[in-house]
Amino acid sequence: MSKPFTLATAVATLLLTTIGFAAPQTGGTPPTAQTPPPQGGRAGGRGAPPGPPPTPQAQAPIDLTGYWVSVVTEDWRWRMLTPPKGDYASVPLNAEGQRVAGGWDLEKDKADGNACRAFGAAGLLRLPLRIHITWQDANTLKLETDSGQQTRLFLFAPPAGAAGERTWQGRSAARWFKQQQLEGLGFGGRGGSLAGGNLRVTTTNMRAGYLRKNGIPYSEDAVLTEYFNRHDEPNGDRWITVTRVVEDPKYLTMPFITSESFKKEADASKWHPTPCQVDPPRS
């Protein structure tokens, strides 16, 4: 069996060590973007009162907006195809997780209206797909996918009211981090420094879903933490690397860490949204 951690482990470990990883919040007020102190004038001094703090959109150290396509350079057998039932290699499942994975039934999922279980937030970006990122408003980034037609909102401002009903995409709290220079560290075969900073997103309140299309489960107790990093190449290519950490006390023995690469596209000409669809597993 493959080991649970690969290159993604080293990347995530360095990120968590560099920027300081705090335990994900499972309740209360989500983390929000930190704003710098007002500019101009001395604290407690005279002069005009400071204006409102800049919005998360105005503070953004990197531009994540646009159309991006996933570039699958590793784990092809699990990402491009539906793996055989019971193939949970490299996922640190406990005994209960293995039992649930062994009982996966694609046709039952379809009959029960659960065809989107593989398109929930904790597993979605592992699929071969395109994403479209825009600012819904000055405090909210919106991520849409063509595959599964999913939409997730990254909330920089504390949401009003209770979390409400669980959904496939859950509730995502976002905050910016300052630039981290990681010279020489390769992401999917590419090296260089990050272009301006990164985004941390913590997602909870998810419906139970799949880490892989063949029924590898995550529960409603799962917490997804993601780091979005922008890096550009001298030839003009623009990339996003997403390092993802799934923690699930019900089905996993330890955090499941992966990384995915997305290349920017010029326009929406290849954007063709399709509903949730899982092909039968290969034999």
Q: Half-sphere exposure of residue 130, counting CA atoms within 13 Å on the CB side?
A: 18
Whether the CB-CB separation of 115 and 276 falls below 8 Å is answered with yes
Question: Does 194 map to a domain?
Answer: yes
Question: Does 275 map to a domain?
Answer: no
Confidence band (pLDDT; 50, 70, 90) for 283? low
Q: What is the mean pLDDT of residues 163-179?
A: 90
Residue that wins the pLDDT comparison between 124 and 187: 124
Question: Does 277 map to a domain?
Answer: no
Amino acid identity for residue 224 in this structure:
L
Scanning the structure block, which residue is given the tokens 């690397």? 241
Q: How many structural domains are present in the chain?
A: 1
Of residues 16, 252, 220, the one with CA closest to residue 121: 220
**What are the tokens at 94?**
């406990």
**What are the tokens at 107?**
């046709």
Question: Does 186 map to a domain?
Answer: yes
Confidence band (pLDDT; 50, 70, 90) for 158? confident
Domain range enclosing 123: 7-18+56-265
Question: Does 225 map to a domain?
Answer: yes
Whether the CB-CB separation of 251 and 93 falls below 8 Å is answered with yes
What span, in angstroms and rounded, lies between the C-alpha atoms of 219 and 123?
Answer: 12
Report percent pLDDT > 70 for the chain.
Answer: 76
Whether the CB-CB separation of 183 and 177 falls below 8 Å is answered with no
**What are the tokens at 177?**
């981090």
DSSP SS3 for 228: strand
Of residues 202, 160, 161, 164, the one with CA closest to residue 33: 202
Question: Does 279 map to a domain?
Answer: no
Question: Does 168 map to a domain?
Answer: yes
pTM of the model: 0.79
Least confident of 10-19, 105-114, 191-200: 10-19
**What are the tokens at 153?**
């909102």
Least confident of 27-31, 85-89, 270-274: 27-31
Please state, as a whole number, how many other Cβ atoms lie within 10 Å of the Cβ of residue 254. 11
Q: Can you list the positions of beta strands (E) in the chain?
A: 66-71, 130-137, 140-145, 151-155, 171-177, 198-204, 209-210, 217-218, 223-232, 238-247, 256-265
Confidence band (pLDDT; 50, 70, 90) for 46? low
**What are the tokens at 66?**
């646009």
Question: Does 112 map to a domain?
Answer: yes
What span, in angstroms and rounded, lies between the C-alpha atoms of 74 and 80?
Answer: 10
Confidence band (pLDDT; 50, 70, 90) for 162? confident
Residue 51 burial (10 A CB sphere; 0-12, 13-18, 19+): exposed
Please state, as a whole number, how many other Cβ atoms lie within 10 Å of the Cβ of residue 55. 16
DSSP SS3 for 116: helix
DSSP SS3 for 187: strand
DSSP SS3 for 134: strand
